Structure formats: structure tokens, C-alpha cells
Amino acid sequence: MSSILFDAGSRTWLLSTPSSSYALRLDDDDTPRHVHWGQPLTLAAARELALPSPPLVSSFDGATDGDVELSVEGGAVFGVAGLAVRYADGSGGVEWRYLEHAIDGGRLEISFADRHYPLRITLHYRVFDDSDVIERWITLRHTGTEDAIELRRCDSGQFTLPVLPDYRVSHVFGGWSREFQLERSVLPVGETVFTSRRGTTSHQANPWVMLDAGSATENAGEVWGAALAWSGSWRLTVSRTPGGRLNLTGGFGHDGVRWRLRPGEEWTTPVLCGLYTVDGFGGASRHWHRYVRAQVLPSRDEVRPILYNSWEATGFDVDEEGQQRLAELAAGLGVEVFVMDDGWFGGRRADNAGLGDWYPAPSQFPNGLKPLISAVHGLGMRFGIWVEPEMVNPDSDLYRTHPDWVLHLPFRRRTELRNQLVLNFARPDVAAWAHKWLDALVADNAIDFLKWDMNRAFTEAGWPDSDDPDRLWVDHVRAVYSIMDRLRADHPGLRIESCSGGGGRADLGILSRTDQVWTSDNTDPVDRLAIQHGFTQLYPARVMSAWVTDNPAHFTGRSAPLRFRFHVAMAGVLGIGGNLLHWSAAERAIAAELIAEYQEIRSTVQLGDLYRLSTPDGFVSAAQYVRGPEVVVLAWRPYTRFGLTSDRLPLVGLDPDATYRDARSGTEYLGAVLGTLGVPLDLPAGDYASSCVRLARR
Ligand code: DGJ
């Protein structure tokens, strides 16, 4: 159970989640100060911890050591300001004046005003009965009647860690087709910034970090984490202060972006989540996964269907007959959603034309999309379609008609990336246009699934007609969210996959209105092991789209057996992306067998607890999933080395006293034995060995 308590004498709030506590207090001058984030506390203990701030050590030191709930400019504060504002008279900063607070179930709001300027600031906190994740965000209100207030940085909140002898940070970095590479490194004293300035979440960094003392392991140890629910530019600054503290402030936007808060206007930041656990990195991931499944995703208890996607098979060479032949083969394997990718509309025959002209290409679909969609529905599958609403090719009717609809700056070239420009969705007319054609496309054709792609970063991000052009960094994303939300509300059966050239838009913000993420354009199964390892540090298997594609793999030229490719993709939401017209009858038989097996294990994989048994840079890597009595282990050994045995890995999280039965062999094992010696993985000899072991508690 969660709770929020307030001690009026010490002006301390205590927020408790099922296994952690978070406490804050007001200083004598009303500054909201951090008290505690860690093991569960009573209110009496929190009150004792809420000590007055120590005197300054010297005239060169700050009034805080970064231990505030939101760092603001003003006075002797020299760290990163999570809230930086400028008023019309040139002054800046905030002097806190406490106004009031309200507790409503798991929600806490604490409101302040600046002591002189017309700015109201509310800190928001939310806790849950079924999660240790704490949500934070702020709202700002301009309470005056004249002159906008400039917002130079507006973070969602600051988290402070206890003083530890050392700190380590874990995060993911990467690039297109090599997203989610996990890195753990010692954190230097100073300010370390994780950011995207690309207008989208990005392939290069993902908006979360985990922090520990350097001693946490996969299965034990204190880990603190933060993740931002936002799909545009973002910034998380982790400061290890010379005074020995660690804090993190983060939110939307990036350096140099400024917004104008107009008189009467209210401004809400995205949610920044925090998580504390003593269960190591594996435990942290499981907590995040449960939170995403229970609190973030729109269709929570649903298992994701097996899809077929045409992209790697047909590229832009898409027509009714070819798609129907693929659909017939896919249905024969047990596929449940057929997705037609890029190339179906306007003059789109390659990536240099047609984006923006969202009508079925008459030469390829002379009777529109309905004949193909009815055929797919007739085969017992749902129908999905690729769209990239935020983009336009200059070679398109849309751009010829509305060249001013794109992000642009006067007297500057319009940089084309993948031959396309970014439509300015912050413009209400552009967002309305996008919503209109998407709504008609879905409604008129009974479309069940959208793959919503986004294939370039922002450049020349200007809006010449606007008096507040930087607003587009926020309003573009909000318009994408709002269109998705409206489509879902008006078409309750519609499901959406978030894609941005693979995994460039995977975050808690997009996941609250989409069902899954296209993890990476790189479908090489060995590369995928590392990508999936990084992806699932925060995001659950339930949203991780993974396709089985053809040999040799597009990006690496590697050829791996079909079974290995399947076993890797079965660790997430299984899909098929190969050209089924080229698959032999024997390959189709293996595929049908493995698809049937996936149908049996998927509720455990997608909705269960994930235990990573080893890392992909090891000899054998494996993931274990547990849901109720069901246990699934997927194991992969890309290459073999003489003398290194790999036939067993100890399992985690099982009941030591229970008996577990192997579904294939019928052999029974005591949980204690599985946790010590492990389960036989039955990996075949040779390279690219893989297996799927299923156990059930008796
Ligand atoms: C990028 C996506 O990641 C691919 O899967 C595919 O949909 C292409 N775009 C189509 O242009």
C-alpha cells in the first residue's frame, strides 16, 4: 500500500510506496528541501531526519548542496538550475513562498508563489499501491496580467540521493540500428548531461538513468533510477557535487530553447519518474516493467499479437497482389496481424517522393485499400498499415501546396535528411490536417493497427510566423500525443506501434498511447541480443517488437539458423519480417511450429517477470520469465568455444520448496536445485545454438 503523510510541526511530507519512502520538508525560508529517498520510514523517523540546514562552510559555498526538490536560480545557489526564468524587467530566479498543499489519495500537490513576481509553482507527486515508482512533475502559472515570463529551463523535478562513497551511472547509448547499448560507468564529480537535441527521444540516448554505489549486482543492491515520460528533446543532468552528494534534475527541452509563459497561462511539464529498490538492476527492471504494464500502457492486460511486416520483404515495391500473396503465407504460419509497410501511397516508389500524399497509389491499388484489407480480414488476421504523418518529401503535392508547413528559418537552407522535411505539428492547421486524414484512413478502411514512423531529427527548427517559435519543441510532441489520443478514443480497437527509424521514439510518454515499439531496424539476431538487453533494462518485453528476417542479415551480412532467429525474437513481441515467398516448405514448417510455441509462452514472456540470467557479451546468454506457475527460459549461444560448458544456468526467483516440471521432457526438479545448479538448456552443438525451456510449478 502507498500513503502520503504530513507533519505540520516540521512541515515534512512522507510518501510511502510498497517498499520505499520519500520525504521532503520546507526550510525556514520555504525552500522545498529533500529529506530522504530509500528504505521505508515512519513519519516520526522522517521528522527526525528533517534537520535544519547546516550553516555555510565558507563564503564560497552554496546555501544547498543540491538537496532541494526543484533547483531554482537565486541567492547562493551555484548548481544546475532546473527552473530558470527571466521576467520582463530583466530580473530572474525564484524566491519561494509556500502557499498550500493538498493530499488526494496517492497525489500530493505543494504550491508556492514567487515572493515578488507573478509566478505560481506547484510541485506534484504521485505514488501507487502496486509500484515503487514515484511520479513527479510541476505546473507553472503566470498569475499576472502583463508581460510574458521567459522559461529558460523548466524541469519536472529534482531527485537527490544519499551521500555515498562512490556513485556509478547506468544508461543506454547508441545510434540508428544499434540502439540501447548498456553502459555502466563511475560517475565523476561534476555535471554529467544525458540529452537529445533532436526533437525526438533519439537513438543516441534514452531518457533514463540508474544510479548505484558501484556495488549493486543484477540480483541485489540499492539502485535509484529516473525516467522521463517525453518524446521530444530532453535533458537529464546528474550532478555529483564536490560536497559528496548526487542529484538529478531533468525534463523536456534542451540548452538554448526558451519558452514564453503568457499572462494567465498554465504550463505543465512531463512526468519524471523515480524508483528506489534494494533488488539490484534486475529488480529495478522488474519494477519498471510492472509500472509500465500497470500504469503506463493504454491496453494493459492485453498480450500482443504476432505480426507480419512487409518492409524487409518488399521495400517500396508494394502492390495489392504482392501483399495479398504475403498475407496468405503469413496466415498459414499463424500470424495474427498483417502490416503493410512504406510504399503504398501517393508517388512513393523510393524514399525521395510522395511523403505527405496519403492516398493509395492508384497504379498499385486501383480499387483502393479495401480489397486487400478484406482479404487480410478474410484470412483471419487484423490489418495494419505504415504511416509517417510528421514528414513530407519536397517532391510531393503537399509540399508544393504548403511549403510553409515545415520547420524552417528565413534565409537558411532547409536541410533534407532521408530526402524529407519535418512538418510543424505545433501549427494547429497542420495538426488538424494530419488528424483528419489519419482518422479517415482508419475509419474508411477498418484499419486495426498503425505503425507510426518518424524518420529524421529536427533541423532549422524555426516557425517564422510565431512570436514564441521555440514552443514548437514542446507543442509538436503534444500534437502527436493528442492525435494519437483522439484516434484511440474514436477507434477503441485501434492499436499503434511507435517507430522512429527503429527505436528512436521509445519512452514512457509515447508508451502511454502506443502498444509496442519497433525496437531497431537492425534485425541481425546477434546484434539484437545486445539491443534487447539494453531495451529491457527499463521497458518490458510486452512492448518490444522483434521480427524474424531473412539471411543474410541486412546490416551485418550474418546468416543464422531460423530457429536461432526465432528464439531471439521470441524474447519480445514476436513478428516475422522475412520474404515468405522465398521460404521453403521446411522453413515454413519450422516457423509454424515456433509460432505455435510462442503462442503458448507469450503471456509468460510479455506479462511475466523478467530475470536476466547472463549478459549478451557472455558465452551463453539467457532470459527467464516467470508468471504464476509458468517459467520460460530462452537461451542463446551465438558461438561455441571448446572447453566451456554451457548446458546449465541457475534460475532465479523460484520457490525453492516447489517442484517444477519440464514441459518437453517431463523431468521434475526442486526449485532449490534449479536455483543452484540450474536447468539443462539442451543447447545443440555448434554455433548459433538456442533453446526454449518451459517449466511449470506443480
Ligand atoms: C523505418 C522503419 O524503422 C522501418 O521498419 C520501415 O518502416 C521504414 N522506415 C520505411 O520507410
Q: pLDDT value at position 645?
A: 67
Q: pLDDT value at position 51?
A: 84
Ligand 1: list residues with CB < 6 Å.
311, 341-342, 386, 453, 455, 499, 501-502, 518, 521
- Measured in Å, residue 107 CA sits from the centre of ligand 1 at 40
Residue nearest to atom 6 of ligand 1 (CA): 311
- Measured in Å, residue 410 CA sits from the centre of ligand 1 at 31
- Measured in Å, residue 22 CA sits from the centre of ligand 1 at 42
Catalytic, 521? Answer: yes
Site to probe by mutation for ligand 1, drawn from 318, 355, 450, 521 as the one with most ligand atoms within 8 Å of Cβ, is 521
- DSSP E strands in 437-476: the ranges are 449-452
Residue nearest to atom 1 of ligand 1 (CA): 501
Residue nearest to atom 2 of ligand 1 (CA): 501
Q: Per the structure block, which three cell numbers stand in for 516?
A: 509496442
Residue nearest to atom 10 of ligand 1 (CA): 342
Q: Locate the ligand 1 atom nearest the alpha carbon of residue 502 and give its number.
A: 3
Among the listed residues 68, 51, 50, 56, the one whose alpha carbon sits nearest the alpha carbon of residue 12: 50
Question: Cα–Cα distance between 204 and 226 in angstroms, integer?
Answer: 18
- Measured in Å, residue 477 CA sits from the centre of ligand 1 at 20
Q: Per the structure block, which three cell numbers stand in for 581?
A: 515467398
Q: pLDDT value at position 99?
A: 98
Question: Cα–Cα distance between 613 and 268 in angstroms, integer?
Answer: 41
Catalytic residue among 341, 453, 470, 527: 453
Q: What are phi and psi of 500, to 5 degrees?
A: -145, 85
* Three-class secondary structure of residue 686 per DSSP: coil
Residue nearest to atom 9 of ligand 1 (CA): 501
- Measured in Å, residue 388 CA sits from the centre of ligand 1 at 9
Q: What contacts 42, CB < 8 A, 6 or more positions away?
A: 14
Q: Locate the ligand 1 atom nearest the alpha carbon of residue 309 and give its number.
A: 5
Site to probe by mutation for ligand 1, drawn from 349, 451, 452, 453 as the one with most ligand atoms within 8 Å of Cβ, is 453
- Measured in Å, residue 384 CA sits from the centre of ligand 1 at 14
Catalytic residue among 65, 357, 475, 521: 521
Q: Locate the ligand 1 atom nearest the alpha carbon of residue 341 and give its number.
A: 7
- What b/e sequence results for 104-127 when a residue is b if at least 16 CB atoms lie within 10 Å of its CB, and e otherwise? eebebbbbbbbeebbbbbbbbbbb
Residues written for the chain: 698
Site to probe by mutation for ligand 1, drawn from 177, 342, 419, 523 as the one with most ligand atoms within 8 Å of Cβ, is 342
- Measured in Å, residue 395 CA sits from the centre of ligand 1 at 19
Cβ neighbours around 90 below 10 Å, total: 6
CA atoms within 13 A on the CB side of 451: 25
Site to probe by mutation for ligand 1, drawn from 179, 309, 310, 311 as the one with most ligand atoms within 8 Å of Cβ, is 311
Question: Cα–Cα distance between 635 and 620 in angstroms, integer?
Answer: 7
Q: Kindly state the helix (H) or strand (E) to which residue 399 belongs, with its residue range.
A: helix 397-401
Catalytic, 317? Answer: no
Per run of 10 residues, the mean pLDDT along the chain (length 698 residues) is 95 98 96 97 94 83 87 92 97 98 97 98 98 98 97 98 95 98 97 98 98 97 98 98 93 96 98 98 98 96 96 97 98 98 97 98 97 98 98 98 98 98 98 98 97 98 96 98 98 98 98 98 98 98 98 95 98 98 98 98 98 90 97 96 81 97 96 96 93 97
- Measured in Å, residue 558 CA sits from the centre of ligand 1 at 21
* Pairing status of strand 659-662 against strand 668-670: antiparallel
Question: Cα–Cα distance between 311 and 334 in angstroms, integer?
Answer: 19
Q: Kindly state the helix (H) or strand (E) to which residue 330 belongs, with its residue range.
A: helix 320-333
Q: How far is CA 215 from the centre of its chain?
A: 26
- Measured in Å, residue 505 CA sits from the centre of ligand 1 at 13
Question: Cα–Cα distance between 368 and 361 in angstroms, integer?
Answer: 8
Report angle CA 642, 646, 649 to the nearest 5 degrees.
165
Q: How many helices (H) and strands (E) does the chain have?
A: 13, 39
Following DSSP, what letter does each residue of 646-678 receive, concatenated?
-SEE---S--TTSEEEETTT--EEEHHHHHHT-
Q: Locate the ligand 1 atom nearest the alpha carbon of residue 351 and give its number.
A: 11
* Three-class secondary structure of residue 546 per DSSP: strand
Residue nearest to atom 11 of ligand 1 (CA): 342
Question: Cα–Cα distance between 207 and 270 in angstroms, integer?
Answer: 12
CA atoms within 13 A on the CB side of 46: 31
